[in-house]
Structure 1
Amino acid sequence: MNILLINHHAGSLQHGMEYRPYYLARAWVAMGHRVRIVAAARSHVRREDPCLHGRSRLDQHIDGIEYTWLSTPGYVGNGWGRIRNMLTFLYRLHYLATALARSFRPDVVIASSTYPLDIWPAHRIARHAGARLLFELHDLWPLSPIELGGYARWHPFIVALQSAENFACRNSDAIVSMLPNVRAHLEAHGMASHKLHIVPNGTDPDEWRQTPAPLPEALAATLATLRGQGAFVVGFAGAHGLANALDTLLSAASLLRDVPVRIVLVGAGPEKPRLQARALAEHLDNVCFLDAVGKDQIPALLRAFDVAYIGLQRQPLFRFGISPNKLIDYMMAGRPVLQAIEAGNDPVGEARCGLTVAAENPQAVASGIRTLLAMTPAAREEMGSNGTRFVLDNLTYDVLGKRFIEACA
């Protein structure tokens, strides 16, 4: 089967995030399918963008996957520059639709960008090729910019996004969602019930079976010192942004001064300087900030934690469920998880790999840490093992790739 996957932000191990299209495509190639990913050349989520040297298009082969990069302008932030980047990608994709249909001859066309506007060029390609059309739902647009960004429903961009979502619900042969509780929402916008398939985020277990890359010397020394002091390390690894509600974790730290707990925050992000200044001003000596590490160093880092923390702001949008990559990493590392998220699903509870407490509630987070500290090492080890088993049984890209292919049939 020839699979054409359209994802504006798609990356690879070379380019960095977004990784999901790469891992799914690699699993499909291993199953004997031919896969082409079409992506924009400029994306804010990648570590490294492809270099087109002034060309409008670049074709590459990466790990058995065919990539087509379309030239788009760079941008910063979420303003007009980002919209211009989107529109340029969509224009180039629409212009190439007939040529892609004839040259690649897809059996399946997947519209998979974060925003739903790529459903129209994807539909055009599928129609020319006589292919099945799939819509992959990452986030709910336009609901996300409405509820998180404060956009009005009558804003022209929101109207266009809603029109695209409605078109996808009515015209796709199947819809794949990472969010488990979206059925009612999609049916309200025209989706037939039988079209929905749930395929969450996943991981490549081979990356965890390898000897992990060593941590930077200074970071390793800091963690070793904490261990030598008998500290119970509660770690967070990831972006220091508003969405992660890290102020809650700092407030919890202020309630834990009487116990040998050390809060370690590893990563970078726009909120990090402010959080560091707050910890200094409040004399939070039990909080430590460390630099971000590479993707290949994540296993070694997480295994140095006693407990791995994940939190999010309290948002109504999470009623549709969550599927965080960070949580899957925590589970693969075999760490018990403290999850401070209120959502329509509870992946930590489902996997029996830790504790779930109220979001943005420092007292609840502090209480959860005390509960985990009071457990025996064997009990915490069992939680961590539960998480790893759950991922290996349900969330590897070999498993998820097969589930996705079922939706293509």
Structure 2
Amino acid sequence: MNILLINHYAGSPRHGMAYRPYYLAREWVRLGHRVHILAANHSHIRTIQPALTGAARLDERIDGIDYSWFRTPGYDGNGVGRVRNMGAFVAALYRNAHQLARTITPDVVIASSTYPMDIWPAHRIAKQAGAQLLFEVHDLWPLSPIELGGMSRWHPFIMLVQQAEDYAYRHANSVVSMLPKVRDYMVSRGLNPEKLHFVPNGIDPDEWRGDSPGLPEAAATLLRGLREAGIAIVGYAGTHGVSNALETVLAAAALMRGENVAFVLVGGGPAKASLHARAIREGLDSLHFLEPVEKSRVPALLQCFDIAYIGWHRHPLYRFGIAPNKLMDYMMAARPVLHAVDAGNDPVREAACGITVAPDDAHAVAEGIRVLLALPDEERAAMGRRGQAFVLEHLTYPVLGQRFLAACGARTDPSNRTSTTMSI
């Protein structure tokens, strides 16, 4: 098939996040399909932005995948600048719809840009090319900016997003969701439930084969010193943002003063400076902050953790489920996981690879750490192995790529297992 994937924020190993479009496209190329990704040249989550040098569009090929980057204005934060950036991308696609349909001749057009307004140009391209139209849902918009961001349901931008979401459910031939508990909500917005498919986030097994590069000197020295001192390491690797609930880790560290435990937080983000300042102010000597490590070094980093932590705030939006990338890495690294969450699904509980405790509860986190550390080493290792086995069976991109193709109506390789224990 010729597959056209529209994802405003698509990245690559060269550019950085978001990686999911690249990993899926690479699997499809390996299976003999042709894939063309359309993306904006400016994204707040990319490390390196494509350089268009005055042109309105840049075409290039990365690992067998055709990319077209469309010029969009830069922005910071989630204000008017980001909305202007979205509008420029959607408008560029709409203006170029006929040319894209004629030159790419897609069999399937996938609208997958987090926000749903890309469904309009995607539908136009699909109609002109006689292609199937698939809508991929990362987060539920406009519910996410309403419930997490506090925006009014009657804000003009929210009303526009709602029109796009409803349009997508009515016009798409298939809908793929990364969130597992969305059926009732989507049906209430007009979706035929027979169109719905679940394809969660996953990992690239190639990144876990062979030796991982060593850690930066500062990280290696700290972690080696803690291990040589016989101190248990509770680690977190990822963004330090408001939604990551790391203030609960600081509160748990305060409750565990004097215990033989160190908390190591690796990464960057808007909340890091305030978290670091609070740790100093409260004298939390067991808490250590490290700079982000390259993606290729993550396997080596995670091997240094005795317990891998991931937490969330208690929020009703999570009733639709969660699909965190960092949790897949924790499980692939065979680490026992402490998961602080209340959500519609829980991969840690499903895989029996750790302990789940209540979110926003430092006492529950501290007690969960104590319970895990009190287990025999072999029992914690067995938890880790169960998590790794679960990911390898259900959550690798070779598996997920085939499941996604099945949602597109393509034939898949029956020798590649696509079953899952997670249900919608």
Question: With structure 2 as the length reference, what TM-score do the two structures score?
Answer: 0.96
Which position in structure 1 is the counterpart of 2:261? Answer: 261
Give, in angstroms, the shift of residue 210 of structure 1: 2.3
Which letter maps to 1:198? F
Q: Does 1:101 align with 2:101?
A: yes
Which position in structure 2 is the counterpart of 1:34? Answer: 34
Structure 2 counterpart SS, 1:124: helix
Which position in structure 2 is the counterpart of 1:148? Answer: 148
Q: Using the alignment, how far apart are the partners of 1:206 and 1:22 within structure 2?
A: 14
- What aligned pairs does 1:6-405 form with structure 2 within 5 A after superposition? 6-405=6-405
Q: Give the aligned length.
A: 409
**Structure 1: tracts of 5 or more residues without a match:** none
Structure 2 counterpart SS, 1:389: helix
Give, in angstroms, the shift of residue 290 of structure 1: 1.1
Give, in angstroms, the shift of residue 152 of structure 1: 0.7
Q: Using the alignment, how far apart are the partners of 1:219 and 1:407 within structure 2?
A: 43
Q: Does 1:4 align with 2:1?
A: no
Structure 2 counterpart SS, 1:257: coil
Give, in angstroms, the shift of residue 78 of structure 1: 0.6
Structure 2 counterpart SS, 1:276: helix
Which letter maps to 2:85? N
Q: Deviations over 1:284-340 (max 9, x none)?
A: 111111111111111100000000000011111100000100000001111000000
Give, in angstroms, the shift of residue 228 of structure 1: 1.1
Structure 1 counterpart SS, 2:179: coil
Q: Using the alignment, how far apart are the partners of 2:249 and 2:14 within structure 1?
A: 33
Q: Using the alignment, how far apart are the partners of 2:342 and 2:385 within structure 1?
A: 24
Which letter maps to 1:390? F
Structure 1 counterpart SS, 2:389: helix
Q: Using the alignment, how far apart are the partners of 1:97 and 1:355 within structure 2?
A: 49
Q: Using the alignment, how far apart are the partners of 1:2 and 1:255 within structure 2?
A: 56
Q: Deviations over 1:70-110 (max 9, x none)?
A: 00010011111101100000110001100110111000000
Give, in angstroms, the shift of residue 258 of structure 1: 3.5
Give, in angstroms, the shift of residue 217 of structure 1: 1.0
The structure 1 segments of at least 4 consecutive aligned residues displaced by more than 2 Å after TM superposition are none
Q: Using the alignment, how far apart are the partners of 2:290 and 2:70 within structure 1?
A: 37
Give, in angstroms, the shift of residue 218 of structure 1: 1.6
Q: Deviations over 1:84-137 (max 9, x none)?
A: 100000110001100110111000000000100000000000000000000000
Structure 1 counterpart SS, 2:96: helix
Q: Deviations over 1:33-84 (max 9, x none)?
A: 0000000000001000100001000100000000010000100111111011
Give, in angstroms, the shift of residue 257 of structure 1: 1.6
Q: Which moved more, 1:20-29 or 1:147-156?
A: 147-156
Q: Using the alignment, how far apart are the partners of 2:260 and 2:154 within structure 1?
A: 53
Give, in angstroms, the shift of residue 348 of structure 1: 0.3
Q: Deviations over 1:189-237 (max 9, x none)?
A: 0000100000000111110112101100121011010011100000001
Give, in angstroms, the shift of residue 282 of structure 1: 1.2
Q: Using the alignment, how far apart are the partners of 1:54 and 1:334 within structure 2?
A: 47
Q: Using the alignment, how far apart are the partners of 1:132 and 1:289 within structure 2?
A: 48
Which letter maps to 2:277? A
Q: How large is the Cα RMSD of the aligned pairs? A: 0.6
Give, in angstroms, the shift of residue 276 of structure 1: 1.1
Q: Using the alignment, how far apart are the partners of 2:212 and 2:174 within structure 1?
A: 39
Q: Using the alignment, how far apart are the partners of 2:218 and 2:401 within structure 1?
A: 39
Q: Using the alignment, how far apart are the partners of 1:200 and 1:105 within structure 2?
A: 28
% identical equivalent positions: 61
Q: Using the alignment, how far apart are the partners of 1:18 and 1:292 within structure 2?
A: 16
Which position in structure 1 is the counterpart of 2:421? Answer: none
Q: Using the alignment, how far apart are the partners of 1:100 and 1:36 within structure 2?
A: 10
Which letter maps to 1:99? Q
Which letter maps to 2:363? Q
Q: Using the alignment, how far apart are the partners of 1:93 and 1:243 within structure 2?
A: 32
Structure 1 counterpart SS, 2:323: coil
**Structure 2: tracts of 5 or more residues without a match:** 410-424
Q: Deviations over 1:242-290 (max 9, x none)?
A: 1111110010011112320111111111111111111111111111111
Give, in angstroms, the shift of residue 382 of structure 1: 0.3
Structure 2 counterpart SS, 1:301: helix
Structure 1 counterpart SS, 2:318: helix
